[in-house]
Amino acid sequence: MSIFVICEAQGNGYRSSSLELLSQARRLSAGASVVAVVLGDEATSASVLQGAAHRVMAVEGAKVGPYSADAWTEALAGLLLNETPRLVLFGEGTRARDLLPRLAARLGAAAFTNALALELDGPSLVLTRPAYGGKAYVAIRCGDRLCLAAFRPNSFDAGAAPVAETAFETVQVSVAGSRVDLVEQRPRESTRVDLVEAQRVVAGGRGLKVPENLRLLEDLADALGGAVGVSRAVVDAGWADHAIQVGKSGKTISPSLYFAVGVSGAVHHTMGMDTAKVVVAINTDPKAPIFQYADYGIVGDALQVLPALTAAITRVVG
Ligand SMILES: Cc1cc2nc3c(=O)[nH]c(=O)nc-3n(C[C@H](O)[C@H](O)[C@H](O)COP(=O)(O)OP(=O)(O)OC[C@H]3O[C@@H](n4cnc5c(N)ncnc54)[C@H](O)[C@@H]3O)c2cc1C
């Protein structure tokens, strides 16, 4: 039995969600082989995965360069047909949403997104994901059929013991190539941590009144070394980019600490953050639904509470 993790590059290494999945796979492997797969241009950093998996497979080919849904699907489909793993893991995000369904359709595999936990139950691997907008959780037992699953970042800690020996392999593939030519890739210019992987997120809603007040979220996020998120109402009003929207039609995140500031707590929003470990809600309305999700609640005007909170945290953190 083997567990494959499809890794996603970031900077000179791989996203923390990829490293967490490798860690959980090592924790559960019990005799199984943990395989890290890196593709195309992203294979150049493969050496940093020493100890993270029993095997690191670098998939290369003339037409497998920067990420491309067509070429990477074809390359991965061929690899998985050859290798026949039981379970293939992805970090939840835009890439997984693009790649995973294509692969599942091509391979006739079972496919799950938005998963939160992966455990061993006897000989079976069982994954957990929310259902009915987070009102229930379903446990899915992976059978003999190939199963592809994407997990929310921050679902596992990345500290499982490393493997003693990692074998590095290069697999040459020949694919038809992409129907899309990548002309230029411009990373978003931001010094803040990525919203999806951030441990601390300060999210704001319509209660901030005017777009200029989003600065108050940024100030607190900077004091905490975290990321900024917003509700859809804020995006629809044109105050912020959809890239930082949290919720059903935005990002699904699972930080250690989530501030919901001037956010009412509609189910479409909470679906994107209900697995945050600690939630702090700031709202003028004591009956706002967000307080049902909150570990700490502050009933008050965000425009006064935020600057005071930022100043207090800055005093402590320095
Ligand atoms: C198919 C679909 C998908 C959707 N996807 C998403 C999604 O991905 N993400 C998302 O967020 N929404 C989504 N929505 C919209 C969602 O249903 C809500 O309309 C939206 O989340 C409301 O945003 P809000 O909480 O910022 O605004 P509001 O609901 O208007 O809430 C504002 C809150 O601010 C409080 N407030 C007002 N003044 C202050 C103040 N001075 N200080 C503190 N608090 C104050 C108010 O009491 C209120 O609770 C979706 C809707 C649909 C139909």
pLDDT tens-digit series, residues 8-52 = 999 899 999 999 999 999 999 877 899 999 999 999 999 999 999
Residue 223 CA: distances (Å) to CA of 195, 220, 276, 280, 298: 15, 5, 19, 16, 19
> How far apart are alpha carbons 131 and 247 in whole angstroms?
14
User: For 286-310, what is the mean pLDDT?
Assistant: 98
Give yes or no for residue 40 CB within 6 A of ligand 1. Answer: no
234 alpha carbon – ligand 1 mean position (Å): 8
Predicted pLDDT of residue 306: 98
Residue 154 CA: distances (Å) to CA of 16, 27, 115, 311: 8, 16, 11, 28
* pLDDT (tens digit per residue) in 22-32: 999 999 987 78
Percent helix, strand, coil in the chain, to 5, is 35, 30, 40
Torsion angles phi and psi, residue 111, rounded to 5? -135, 135
Helical (H) or strand (E) element with 71: helix 69-83
Entry pTM = 0.85
Give me the sheet containing 117-121, strands edge to edge: 117-121, 124-131, 136-142
Predicted pLDDT of residue 213: 98
Predicted pLDDT of residue 182: 82
User: For 203-207, what is the mean pLDDT?
Assistant: 98
CB 156 within 8 A of CB 116: no
CB 20 within 8 A of CB 157: yes
pLDDT at residue 184 above 80? yes
254 vs 178, residue with greater confidence:
254
The per-residue pLDDT of the chain, averaged, comes to 94
Helical (H) or strand (E) element with 70: helix 69-83
CATH of 2-172, one of 3.40.190.10, 3.40.50.620, 1.20.1050.10, 1.10.10.60: 3.40.50.620
Give yes or no for residue 270 CB within 6 A of ligand 1. Answer: no
Same fold, 2-172 and 200-317: yes
Give yes or no for residue 70 CB within 6 A of ligand 1. Answer: no
Give burial (CB, 10 Å; 0-12/13-18/19+) of 17.
Answer: buried
CA neighbours closer than 13 Å in the CB half-sphere of residue 66: 8
pLDDT at residue 275 above 80? yes
CATH number of 200-317: 3.40.50.1220
Q: Going by C-beta distance under 8 Å and a sequence separation of 6 or more, which residues neighbour residue 26?
A: 34, 52, 53, 160, 161, 162, 163
User: For 287-315, what is the mean pLDDT?
Assistant: 97
Best residue among 252, 268, 298, 304 to mutate for probing ligand 1's pocket (most ligand atoms within 8 Å of CB) is: 268
Give yes or no for residue 87 CB within 6 A of ligand 1. Answer: no
* pLDDT (tens digit per residue) in 87-134: 999 999 889 999 999 999 999 999 999 999 999 888 888 999 988 877
pLDDT at residue 260 above 80? yes
Strand partners, 129: 138
pLDDT at residue 244 above 90? yes
Best residue among 241, 283, 291 to mutate for probing ligand 1's pocket (most ligand atoms within 8 Å of CB) is: 283
Predicted pLDDT of residue 1: 78
The residues spanned by each domain of the chain are 2-172, 200-317
Give yes or no for residue 130 CB within 6 A of ligand 1. Answer: no
